[in-house]
Amino acid sequence: MTTDNLRGRTALVTGGSRGIGAAIVRALAHAGAAVAINYRERAGDADALATRIGSSGSRAIAIAADVSRADAVASMVERATSELGPIDILVNNAGIAIVRGVDDLTEADFDRTIAVNLKSVFLCTQAVLPMMRSRKWGRIVNISSGAARGAGSIGPHYNASKAGIEGLTRGYAARLVRDGITVNAVAPSLIATDMMKGQENLVSRIPLGRFGTADEVAQAVMMLLGNPYMTGQTVAMSGGMAFN
């Protein structure tokens, strides 16, 4: 995408303080969008990212919110809208990865994973839809995972949460297409983030021979934002491990 082609748009990125989320925030700001950077705990990282974006001439704010809670989502969206303008672009990136085997997976682990990874997508989408519908334009991109279709290494609760994201993606896409709103997903596998530290042995599974990068995931997100004819799709990024 070319620089400035999102000028005048406002974006909200959940889980945007580091890793894939931060790479998406940077790409959006580079394209001219004003960006609300959601975080839950890493205030320092989020504030530093917003400051760097501001120093480069773009607008960004950091907003703390637990996006698994409806009240927190409502407050977050209200603040983002009041400070930056109505939200045109939503990237649902917030997630949690609690590594568990079948025998040590608890109900609490399952519930927390579904709330953070899946329910948050529903809550944030519902919160921004009135703004997008009123202007007949919106872009929603949900960050899924190769675990939505493959075995994954985190646990079946994680698989279920990511498969649910792709179901929400298709369900919303079908119902919002006539409102000028596209809804797509990106499903990365084995990306070089904090989650992969100590897991370098997994590189042997990747035909391309390396982990993906957060910036490469951001490139896929930006492609979806710029293509009005793509909706209801999941773009897989696995370095050749799997194919849709």
CA-to-CA distance for 98 and 161, rounded, in angstroms? 12
Amino acid at 114: I
At a CB cut-off of 8 Å and minimum separation 6, what does 96 contact? 112, 113, 116, 117
What are the distances in angstroms from CA 34 to CA 2, 100, 129, 155? Answer: 16, 38, 18, 36
| DSSP codes, 2-39 | -TTTTTT-EEEETT-SSHHHHHHHHHHHHTT-EEEEEE
**Would you call 158 a catalytic residue per the annotation?**
yes
The residue assigned the tokens 């809208």 is 81
**Helix axis angle, 19-30 to 214-226, nearest 10°:** 50
Among 39, 158, 172, 229, which one carries the catalytic annotation?
A: 158
CA-to-CA distance for 216 and 27, rounded, in angstroms? 10
Cα Rg of the chain (Å, integer): 17
Maximal C-alpha separation, the chain: 51
Beta bridge partners of 185: 142, 234
At a CB cut-off of 8 Å and minimum separation 6, what does 161 contact? 95, 113, 114, 116, 117, 118
Return the active site residues: 158
